[in-house]
């Protein structure tokens, strides 16, 4: 190591000069922390390596890829200037965090890129505040315990009310409780409140209950930090949050409030149960200047307060008219269930992993915050068109959906994302957040795992689950559903023609809707049972019509877990076969692993009964659930469908290739045929051919077709089948 290298090393910097657009050269290639980090991220440096390809650098640090746009502008500029990336975090395979910062500068016409490892200093600065953070953590713990108790109480009261206990009985049970409780009607009229509430708000105990409009006051006070609040409670969901509130004497205090609606059997909200605690003491000791104060303890991301400071700053500056700004409101799906199933520690681990993934998906000048619970927000700046936000959303959904290992299990999360944007020089942060929230809610209602842009119709009426359910029921009666058929092309010859039946809703107002827009609601409401029966019957009818036309096609129908477990399923299935005259061996049922989650033995028994009719079974979406290859041995299935997400990654991801190959090998041993779905490119097809997959389904051959289109394409499909067979 020469003196220069030694000095650079001492500064904790790796220095690179730009050789070309494709390559950098390391000035201090011996830099130990950099070597360690590269190795930890899966890109070990060779011993004598001095060059570093730009593409390798960008794969190592996706964050740098975006920074290079600004860096290049700096290097090409005529005047000397510097671009600085701001600090970002990388975590290596051992979980060690590196706080890094990149700088681009021009020295004697030479483009120089410096990456500084700020972790050592970071720690020093942090240790000074360690004490403050300890206190904050302790508070956080106390608050978290308080939250648990508060939620418990909320649940208890709601359960009592739903079990038809009179309001009076409930009132007696909560009188002495240390948490403040209020039960009111949707218009705010108070029916019950307890002593703790009187104490916190210094209410005059002789006051006329009906004249207290605490609910309105809370909604107003909390709305500043939680613009989504009204939407949440009007749509009948539970809400919790913290905000500053004023008592009747005018002094302010921090409260933590939970609001839960009580619904009558017809779905109308009859009451709100509100539980509050004064948390001023816990919040009061928060050292607002300490690093960490504006950050969430679990995810280390900026918290809600920090988010507001950031976005309000943006609102105060005049934004460039060339660019717009976008908000992506991310809410994880089913997080509560996972949290309950796996425990809080696993839940926290999940949240912090997701936080890292989200941060890695965005550009360095974008802002990511953890709003609390399972909600995140991304502020995307410098967009030219709203379509760019869709790309970010897609990237986020894909990153969140990558498998995760928790408690030795592999699981995959999904999220719902709402998007709002503004191209005005001055933004209205509250309105933007509200819009993103409404869009997120719409995405969730429409089936989760997707993103939606805000559109003003969302504001007019919050899509109400009950209303959607009613619409679905009407649609079933009015026969607005249609089955499309997507051919599966054989790669191994001799087999008959096959197609998967995929449902669509011909909506009178919104046009042809994909299943993502309604299946989840049908599942939640139980409507999936009659809907699914209709699908089976329709599939049988189609199969018979084709047969009568001299065309033999096996048809696979998707069966949801709920439908399969319905006691009448088997009878309905045999009725459909008998009444339509569909040969059982031409019908296939696609089921997912979730069907086996509970009560494995009785599901296996049912499947055996179904197979004894001659009906075949395909295991759908293989690889996305809690699947383990070992467990496949126990399941009586004829086909296995490798999920689209693996096929999509085949060309880039060795792991997906390895998984796909081992699934195919195992399936062969178990005598199960493999179908690959979502095949779009020739590369994918070639890989699958080499791996000897039996069938391929995907846009590369056909999109889902109407019945008539399938009939017309029959000869071509047959030909394709023969051509592609080995």
The reply to whether 447 sits near ligand C2E by the rule CB under 6 A is no
Which partner, ligand C2E, Ca ion, none, binds residue 519 by CB below 5 to 8 Å per kind?
Answer: ligand C2E
Cβ proximity to ligand C2E, 200 vs 535, nearer residue: 535
Is the CB of residue 45 less than 8 Å from the CB of residue 35? yes
| Contact pattern from residue 540 through residue 559 relative to Ca ion, giving x for each residue in contact according to CB under 5 A and a dash for the rest | ------------------x-
Contact stretch for Ca ion (CB under 5 A) within 57-65, 77-85, 583-591, 702-710 = 583-591
Q: What are the backbone angles phi and psi of residue 422, rounded to the nearest 5°?
A: -145, 140
Candidates 283-291, 425-433, 468-476, 695-703; binding stretch for ligand C2E (CB under 6 A) = 695-703
CB of 642 vs Ca ion, minimal distance in Å: 9
To ligand C2E, the closest distance from the beta carbon of 588 in angstroms equals 12
Binding mask 474-513 for ligand C2E (x = CB under 6 A): ------------x---------------xx----------
Q: Which two tokens stand for residue 407?
A: 């408690």
Distance, in Å, from the CA atom of 585 to the CA atom of 137, rounded to the nearest integer, reads: 62
Cβ neighbours of residue 513 closer than 8 Å, sequence gap 6 or more: 504, 505, 506, 507
Lookup result for tokens 């950098």: 24
Q: With respect to ligand C2E, which residue has the nearer C-beta, 405 or 699?
A: 699
Pick the piece of the chain touching Ca ion (CB under 5 A) from 103-111, 119-127, 544-552, 614-622: 614-622
CB closer to Ca ion, 74 vs 558: 558
Cβ(638)–Cβ(672) below 8 Å: yes
| CB-nearer residue toward ligand C2E: 165 or 689 | 689
Judged by CB under 6 A, which stretch of 157-165, 179-187, 368-376, 675-683 contacts ligand C2E?
675-683
Taking alpha carbons only, the member of 484, 485, 554, 487 closest to residue 716 is 487
Q: How far is the CB of 57 from Ca ion (least distance, A)?
A: 37
Q: Which is nearer to ligand C2E, 435 or 697 (CB)?
A: 697
Q: How far apart are CA 528 and CA 570, in angstroms?
A: 15
Q: How far is the CB of 497 from ligand C2E (least distance, A)?
A: 17
The nearest distance, CB 491 to ligand C2E, in angstroms, is 15
Tokens of 498: 């096959």
Asked whether position 623 contacts ligand C2E by CB under 6 A, the answer is: no
| Binding partner of residue 691 among ligand C2E, Ca ion, none, CB cut-off 5 to 8 Å per kind | none
625 binds ligand C2E (CB under 6 A): no
Q: Which one of Ca ion, ligand C2E, none is in contact with 261 (Cβ closer than 5 to 8 A by kind)?
A: none
Q: Which does 699 bind (CB under 5 to 8 A by kind): Ca ion, ligand C2E, none?
A: ligand C2E
CB of 704 to ligand C2E, least distance (A): 5
The stretch near Ca ion (CB under 5 A) out of 154-162, 218-226, 259-267, 617-625 is: 617-625
- The minimum distance between CB 503 and ligand C2E, in angstroms, equals 4
Dihedral angle over CA of 55, 62, 354, 414, nearest 10: -60
For 680, which DSSP code?
Answer: -
Find the angle CA(335)-CA(441)-CA(304) to the nearest 5 degrees.
Answer: 65
d(CA 386, CA 321): 14
From the list 12-20, 129-137, 616-624, 699-707, the region that binds Ca ion by CB under 5 A is 616-624
- The residue among 445 and 621 lying less far from Ca ion, judged by its C-beta, is 621
Closer residue to ligand C2E, CB minimum distance, 295 or 505 = 505
Token representation of residue 506: 């011909």
Q: Is 507 left (phi over 0), alpha (psi -120 to 50) or beta?
A: beta
Q: Could you say which of 30, 40, 186, 514 contacts ligand C2E (CB under 6 A)?
A: 514
Count the residues in the chain.
726
Instruction: Say if residues 27 and 15 touch (Cβ distance below 8 Å).
Output: yes
Q: Among 513, 680, 689, 724, which residue interacts with ligand C2E (rule: CB under 6 A)? A: 680
Residue closer to ligand C2E, measured from CB, 180 or 519:
519
Bridge partners, 15 (sequence order):
114
End-to-end CA distance of the chain: 59
Q: Calculate the CA 446 to chain-centre distance.
A: 14
Q: How far is CA 357 from the centre of its chain?
A: 11
Count of CB atoms within 10 A of residue 224's CB? 12
Q: Applying CB under 6 A, does 720 fall inside the site for ligand C2E? A: no
Q: Which two tokens stand for residue 373?
A: 């619970």
Q: Which is nearer to ligand C2E, 392 or 535 (CB)?
A: 535
Among 115, 161, 389, 519, the residue binding ligand C2E under the rule CB under 6 A is 519
Nearest to Ca ion of 239, 702 (CB atom): 702
Region binding Ca ion by CB under 5 A among candidate stretches 61-69, 196-204, 374-382, 619-627: 619-627
Question: Is 616 near Ca ion (CB under 5 A)?
Answer: no
- What is the C-alpha separation between 280 and 455, in angstroms, rounded? 39
CA 605/CA 626 separation, integer angstroms? 21
Site string for ligand C2E, 531-550 (x = CB under 6 A): -x--x---------------
Question: In the complex, what is the shortest distance from the CB of residue 348 to ligand C2E, in angstroms, rounded to a whole number?
Answer: 31
* Residue 530 lies near ligand C2E (rule: CB under 6 A): no
How many CB atoms neighbour CB 276 within 10 A? 22
Which stretches of 433-496 are assigned E, i.e. beta strand?
A: 451-453, 481-490
Do 720 and 701 touch, CB atoms closer than 8 A?
yes
Minimal distance, residue 507 CB to ligand C2E, in Å: 15
Among 515, 613, 666, 668, binds ligand C2E (CB under 6 A): 515
Q: Decide if residue 621 touches Ca ion (CB under 5 A).
A: yes
Least Cα distance to 465 among 629, 317, 261, 221 occurs for: 261
In the beta sheet, which residues pair with residue 295? 302
Distance CA 207, CA 227 (A): 31
**What CA–CA distances, in Å, run from 273 to 219, 243, 276, 491, 514?**
14, 18, 10, 60, 37
Q: Which two tokens stand for residue 563?
A: 């439908």
By CB under 6 A, how many residues form the interface with ligand C2E?
A: 23
Using CA atoms, how far residue 485 sits from 140, 472, 549, 708, in Å, is 54, 22, 16, 10
Q: Which is nearer to Ca ion, 221 or 621 (CB)?
A: 621
Cβ–Cβ < 8 Å for 674, 696: no
Closest CA to 520 of 570, 459, 561: 561
Q: Which helix (H) or strand (E) holds 434?
A: helix 429-445
620: contact with Ca ion by CB under 5 A: yes
Which residues within the stretch 15-74 sit at the binding site for Ca ion (CB under 5 A)?
none
301 near ligand C2E, rule: CB under 6 A: no
Residue 600: in which H helix or E strand, if any? helix 600-612
- The single residue among 278, 541, 588, 590 that binds Ca ion, judged by CB under 5 A, is 590
Instruction: Say how far apart CA 415 and CA 402 lie, in whole Å.
Output: 12
Contact positions toward ligand C2E, by CB under 6 A? 486, 502-503, 514-516, 519, 528, 532, 535, 558, 560, 620-621, 644, 677-680, 697-699, 704
Contact positions toward Ca ion, by CB under 5 A? 558, 590, 620-621
């Amino acid at each position: 190591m020469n003196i220069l290298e030694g000095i650079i090393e001492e500064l904790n910097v790796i220095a690179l000069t730009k050789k070309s657009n494709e390559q950098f050269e390391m000035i201090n290639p011996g830099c130990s922390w950099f070597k360690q980090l590269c190795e930890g991220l899966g890109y070990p440096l060779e011993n004598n390596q001095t060059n570093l390809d730009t593409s390798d650098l960008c794969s190592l640090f996706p964050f740098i890829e975006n920074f290079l746009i600004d860096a290049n502008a700096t290097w090409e500029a005529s005047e000397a200037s510097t671009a600085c990336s701001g600090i970002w975090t990388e975590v290596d395979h051992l979980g060690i965090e590196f706080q890094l910062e990149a700088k681009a500068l021009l020295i004697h016409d030479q483009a120089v890129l410096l990456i500084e490892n700020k972790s050592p200093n970071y720690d020093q600065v942090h240790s000074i505040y360690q004490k403050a953070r300890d206190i904050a953590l302790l508070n956080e713990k106390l608050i978290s315990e308080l939250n648990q108790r508060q939620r418990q109480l909320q649940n208890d009261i709601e359960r009592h009310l739903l079990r038809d206990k009179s309001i009076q009985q409930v009132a007696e049970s909560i009188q002495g409780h240390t948490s403040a409780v209020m039960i009111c009607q949707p218009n705010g009229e108070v029916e019950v409140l307890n002593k703790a509430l009187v104490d916190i708000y210094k209410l005059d105990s002789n006051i006329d209950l009906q004249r207290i409009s605490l609910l309105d006051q809370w909604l107003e006070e909390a709305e500043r930090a939680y613009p989504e609040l009204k939407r949440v409670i009007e749509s009948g969901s539970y809400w919790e949050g913290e905000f500053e509130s004023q008592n009747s004497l005018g002094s302010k205090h921090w409260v933590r409030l939970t609001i839960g609606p009580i619904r009558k059997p017809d779905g109308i909200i009859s009451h709100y149960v509100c539980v509050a605690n004064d948390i001023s003491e816990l919040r009061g000791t928060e050292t607002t200047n300490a690093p960490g104060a504006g950050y969430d303890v679990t995810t280390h991301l900026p918290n809600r307060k920090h988010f507001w400071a950031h976005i309000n700053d943006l609102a105060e500056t005049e934004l460039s008219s060339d660019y717009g700004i976008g908000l992506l409101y991310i809410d994880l799906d089913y997080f509560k269930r996972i949290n309950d199933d796996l425990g809080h520690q696993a839940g926290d681990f999940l949240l912090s992993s997701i936080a890292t993934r989200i941060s890695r998906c965005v550009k360095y000048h974008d802002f990511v915050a953890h709003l609390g619970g399972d909600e995140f927000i991304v502020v995307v700046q410098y967009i030219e068109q709203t379509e760019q936000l869709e790309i970010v959303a897609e990237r986020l959904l894909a990153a969140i959906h990558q498998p995760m290992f928790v408690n030795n299990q592999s699981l995959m999360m999904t999220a719902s994302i709402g998007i709002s944007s503004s191209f005005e020089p001055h933004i209205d942060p509250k309105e933007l957040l509200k819009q993103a929230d409404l869009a997120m809610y719409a995405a969730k209602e429409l089936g989760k795992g997707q993103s939606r842009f805000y559109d003003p119709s969302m504001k007019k009426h919050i899509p109400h689950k009950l209303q959607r359910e009613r619409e679905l029921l009407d649609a079933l009666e009015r026969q607005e559903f249609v089955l499309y058929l997507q051919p599966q092309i054989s790669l191994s010859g001799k087999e008959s023609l096959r197609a998967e039946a995929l449902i669509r809703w011909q909506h009178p107002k919104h046009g042809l809707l994909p299943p993502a827009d309604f299946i989840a609601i049908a599942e939640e409401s139980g409507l999936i049972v009659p809907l699914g029966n209709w699908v089976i019957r329709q599939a049988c009818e189609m199969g018979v019509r084709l047969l009568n036309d001299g065309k033999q096609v096996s048809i696979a129908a998707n069966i949801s877990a709920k439908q399969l477990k319905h006691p009448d399923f088997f009878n309905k299935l045999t009725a459909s076969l008998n009444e339509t005259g569909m040969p059982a061996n031409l019908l296939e049922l696609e089921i997912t692993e979730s069907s086996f989650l509970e009560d494995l033995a009785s599901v296996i028994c049912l499947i055996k009964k179904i197979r004894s009719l001659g009906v075949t079974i395909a295991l759908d979406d293989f690889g996305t659930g809690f699947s383990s290859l070992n467990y496949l041995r126990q399941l009586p299935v004829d086909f296995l469908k490798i999920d689209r997400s693996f096929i999509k990654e085949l060309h880039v991801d060795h792991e997906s290739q390895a998984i796909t190959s081992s699934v195919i090998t195992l399936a062969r041993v178990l005598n199960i045929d493999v179908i690959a779905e979502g095949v779009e490119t020739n590369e994918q097809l070639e890989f699958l051919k080499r791996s000897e997959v039996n069938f391929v389904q995907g846009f590369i051959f056909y999109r889902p077709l109407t019945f008539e289109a399938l009939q017309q394409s029959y000869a071509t499909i047959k030909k394709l089948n023969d051509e592609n067979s080995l």
